A and B are shown apart, each in its own frame.
Chain A
């Protein structure tokens, strides 16, 4: 990709610049100058050399609590990853193994990427909601869990770029094409030496074209149900009890408020309440909802607005979405309650 001589590139670029200036001044003049304030608001990226880091600092001691509130429900208390969510910790020395484990510690080349990604995209259901202090704290804690910094290390704008990640030298620039296949037309292989391998059965959702196909679910909610059923059957086989099968009934009519809450549910609440993450009661799991509903809507709404730590799980205030209005959260709770029939 970068095989062209550098001089040629510079030539092309400067030729373009010259004509570009003419375009801008004499031809288009489209667009508005971006002000320093506008740029500062959107310029969120961080580079390996530390460019872009905000003022401030943080450490793993403070980071532990912040991590448990915002991160552990998906990534696990020890960074081990819940379900199919990304594993953050471990895997050192595994990259050449048959089953490599790619984590922040074993794979990521730069610490800056961690700060950048947490700030731009995490927590999953409420991106751009953490302040710089929280991002520094969580970054320090994830580095600490990977034995890259000490627990009391004060991570800051001045020292983040100096952190050397274990796999920094583990990458090389794309050198494809890496194979050359001649365009042979006859006797290209010895048929007696060719081996054929068939598909694993039962992992493709092909019920749409194969009659009676023993195929897995075609949707994520279907997949969750399938796995829940299998888990219930497994537990039943251990305890000897009969597995409770969900009874599917016609949905009852909803209140207007509940209907209005559906969009908030989908955008904010569904991440945990569809999958049961962080011990959240799952939509449609009646056994998880019966006792909660008995407490009355006022209690459930208060817990949703203010946050709640129960025996089975943890509900951050507004699910970590401070941007949602009280009304939006209330309507989403009503949507969930009225869906459990």
Chain B
């Protein structure tokens, strides 16, 4: 079977669209509506009337307007509405042997703005989530320092704090698709990605307190979990922007995110931001530990591998429409997505509707911050035409997000990590969205 060219493909889809009967179109829209209505019906609040309409709709007074609700501290720690129960982290079980050393993805298809709520930040553990008593947690700094120190959590929180909004991304985000598309959902193609406001102390302040020696060129950061996860970090990064953080989005870190203490290397691959941080050793050379040799190195086509591939390069994806968010109505449509770069700020994002032949600039909206998720938007009209829709971000270093063909030409298909290529959604005349690759 030969692969159709995109011209043929768009034409075929257009033809199919023209042959859709009015019933087909209504059927699709009805399914879209029933999906939404179905979610509401689970709540059990609506009562169908003889006309088939909910008694909670105008002109009727809805049920919740005719009774009292629950009182204060019903939920001392509040929860999302029960009608939002589908907005959860999810995993792809066949990726890993079991759930203790595994990964889950954030539901970025359902999120708004640039902040990921704490309960939805993606998870990656190498030995599960430890249950750490903060009173018994210590951070030790030693090695090439004049005064080896131990800090309690109380000590660390005495230092002047900083709060910064930064994304964190697993370098394997998208890594399942080097050879071809296989994840039929945005949550699984790009969900190893979250963005929080983190609060803590710059690591350089703590190293200054210990008196780092001039021979100190690298640090080893190590976790207190069963994996004792360890990574070597060059001193230049620490002098630039590495933080030791104890809070996210206004509250203490979640256990999944390293409670009570984690490292944060903004813009760098997530595994360098060691969780449950207990030890920093200063040395003159890197350690070449398992998670920076056997794993998290990028195998090239010639059999050699890149190491210390720290930076998460400029990347973007359209979050609406996407497979989970098909287009349900003809007419006005706001296309939205997320862009991010580990090298600084997003300068702009372009959108293509024809698989990358022509591009239109999108608008950045809301906050545009250094090494943070940045939301983009383009308002348009959709009348059922088939699209091969893409986003392409560029950052303030001038780097433009590459095509998959360009990455494959440089790296082959076995490097697993750092696949930041332009992503394509195929929008069908029905409004359904599929994950495809254009090369």
- Chain A: residues with CB nearer than 8 A to chain B? 1-2, 4, 9-10, 12-14, 16-17, 19-21, 23-24, 28, 30-34, 38-39, 42-49, 74, 83-85, 95-96, 100, 102, 104, 107-110, 112-113, 116-117, 120-121, 124, 127-128, 170-189, 191-201, 203-206, 208-210, 216-220, 222-223, 267, 270-271, 274-275
Asked whether, in the complex, the Cβ of A14 is within 8 Å of the Cβ of B239, the reply is no
B424 to chain A, nearest CB (A): 8
One of A33, A174, A197, A198 near B147 (C-beta < 8 A): A33
Asked whether, in the complex, the Cβ of B230 is within 8 Å of the Cβ of A120, the reply is yes
B187 to chain A, nearest CB (A): 9
Asked whether, in the complex, the Cβ of A24 is within 8 Å of the Cβ of B435, the reply is no
Asked whether, in the complex, the Cβ of A173 is within 8 Å of the Cβ of B308, the reply is yes
A177-B313, A181-B401 as given contacts; A109 in contact with B293, CB under 8 Å: yes
Asked whether, in the complex, the Cβ of A24 is within 8 Å of the Cβ of B410, the reply is no
A176-B309, A195-B6 as given contacts; A84 in contact with B96, CB under 8 Å: yes
Asked whether, in the complex, the Cβ of A188 is within 8 Å of the Cβ of B359, the reply is yes
- Assembly CA distance A201 to B321 (angstroms): 20
Sample 25 A-B pairs with CB under 8 A, ordered by A number.
A9-B235, A10-B214, A13-B212, A14-B214, A20-B211, A30-B159, A39-B142, A45-B230, A84-B96, A96-B302, A110-B288, A117-B290, A171-B307, A172-B304, A181-B402, A185-B360, A188-B358, A192-B7, A196-B4, A197-B436, A198-B434, A198-B435, A208-B86, A209-B185, A275-B98
A44-B228, A191-B355, A223-B94 as given contacts; A13 in contact with B306, CB under 8 Å: no
Asked whether, in the complex, the Cβ of A28 is within 8 Å of the Cβ of B93, the reply is no
One of A2, A45, A189 near B356 (C-beta < 8 A): A189
Asked whether, in the complex, the Cβ of A31 is within 8 Å of the Cβ of B93, the reply is no
Most buried by B among A45, A49, A271: A45
- Assembly CA distance A120 to B142 (angstroms): 18
Most buried by A among B208, B214, B227: B208
- Assembly CA distance A187 to B210 (angstroms): 58
A267 to chain B, nearest CB (A): 8
B293 to chain A, nearest CB (A): 5
Binary CB contact string for chain B from 406 to 439 against chain A (1 if under 8 A, 0 otherwise): 1101110010001000001010000000111111
Is the C-beta of B117 less than 8 angstroms from some C-beta in chain A?
A: no
A145 to chain B, nearest CB (A): 16
Asked whether, in the complex, the Cβ of A198 is within 8 Å of the Cβ of B127, the reply is no
Shortest beta-carbon contacts, A-B, top 3: A20-B208, A96-B303, A223-B93
Q: Name the B residues within 8 Å of A16 (CB-CB).
A: 204, 208, 239
- Assembly CA distance A175 to B310 (angstroms): 11
- Assembly CA distance A7 to B100 (angstroms): 45
Asked whether, in the complex, the Cβ of A218 is within 8 Å of the Cβ of B93, the reply is yes
Cβ < 8 Å to A, chain B residues 383-400: 388, 392, 394, 399-400
B418 to chain A, nearest CB (A): 8
Q: Name the A residues within 8 Å of B388 (CB-CB).
A: 196
Asked whether, in the complex, the Cβ of A34 is within 8 Å of the Cβ of B142, the reply is yes
A95 to chain B, nearest CB (A): 4
One of B128, B148, B283, B303 near A33 (C-beta < 8 A): B148
Is the C-beta of B181 less than 8 angstroms from some C-beta in chain A?
A: yes
- Assembly CA distance A32 to B138 (angstroms): 11
Q: Name the B residues within 8 Å of A275 (CB-CB).
A: 97-98
Asked whether, in the complex, the Cβ of A185 is within 8 Å of the Cβ of B301, the reply is no
Q: Name the A residues within 8 Å of B155 (CB-CB).
A: 30-32
- Assembly CA distance A252 to B388 (angstroms): 53
- Assembly CA distance A34 to B434 (angstroms): 56
A317 to chain B, nearest CB (A): 19
A45-B281, A121-B228, A179-B406 as given contacts; A204 in contact with B92, CB under 8 Å: yes
Is the C-beta of B323 less than 8 angstroms from some C-beta in chain A?
A: yes
Q: Name the A residues within 8 Å of B308 (CB-CB).
A: 1, 173-174
- Assembly CA distance A66 to B1 (angstroms): 53
Binary CB contact string for chain B from 80 to 107 against chain A (1 if under 8 A, 0 otherwise): 0000001000111110111111100000
- Assembly CA distance A42 to B137 (angstroms): 13
- Assembly CA distance A102 to B3 (angstroms): 33
Cβ < 8 Å to A, chain B residues 157-188: 158-159, 180-185, 188
Chain A: CB-nearest residue to B224: A42
- Assembly CA distance A176 to B410 (angstroms): 10
Further pairs besides A21-B208, A191-B7: 13, Cβ < 8 Å: A1-B311, A28-B205, A32-B149, A121-B227, A179-B409, A186-B359, A192-B7, A204-B183, A204-B184, A205-B92, A205-B188, A218-B93, A271-B100
Asked whether, in the complex, the Cβ of A196 is within 8 Å of the Cβ of B357, the reply is no
Asked whether, in the complex, the Cβ of A34 is within 8 Å of the Cβ of B182, the reply is no
Q: Name the A residues within 8 Å of B92 (CB-CB).
A: 204-205
One of B100, B228, B301 near A120 (C-beta < 8 A): B228
Asked whether, in the complex, the Cβ of B307 is within 8 Å of the Cβ of A174, the reply is yes
- Assembly CA distance A177 to B126 (angstroms): 29
A164 to chain B, nearest CB (A): 14
A7 to chain B, nearest CB (A): 13
- Assembly CA distance A199 to B185 (angstroms): 10
Asked whether, in the complex, the Cβ of B93 is within 8 Å of the Cβ of A216, the reply is yes
- Assembly CA distance A40 to B419 (angstroms): 40
Asked whether, in the complex, the Cβ of A219 is within 8 Å of the Cβ of B93, the reply is yes
B414 to chain A, nearest CB (A): 6
- Assembly CA distance A184 to B148 (angstroms): 54
Is the C-beta of B222 less than 8 angstroms from some C-beta in chain A?
A: yes
Q: Name the A residues within 8 Å of B285 (CB-CB).
A: 47, 49
One of A38, A174, A186, A189 near B306 (C-beta < 8 A): A174
Asked whether, in the complex, the Cβ of B222 is within 8 Å of the Cβ of A34, the reply is no
Is the C-beta of B197 less than 8 angstroms from some C-beta in chain A?
A: no
Is the C-beta of B61 less than 8 angstroms from some C-beta in chain A?
A: no
- Assembly CA distance A120 to B127 (angstroms): 11
One of B185, B409, B411 near A206 (C-beta < 8 A): B185
Is the C-beta of B141 less than 8 angstroms from some C-beta in chain A?
A: yes
Asked whether, in the complex, the Cβ of A113 is within 8 Å of the Cβ of B355, the reply is no
Q: Name the B residues within 8 Å of A13 (CB-CB).
A: 212, 214, 235, 239
- Assembly CA distance A21 to B205 (angstroms): 10
Is the C-beta of B305 less than 8 angstroms from some C-beta in chain A?
A: yes
Is the C-beta of B372 less than 8 angstroms from some C-beta in chain A?
A: no
B143 to chain A, nearest CB (A): 9
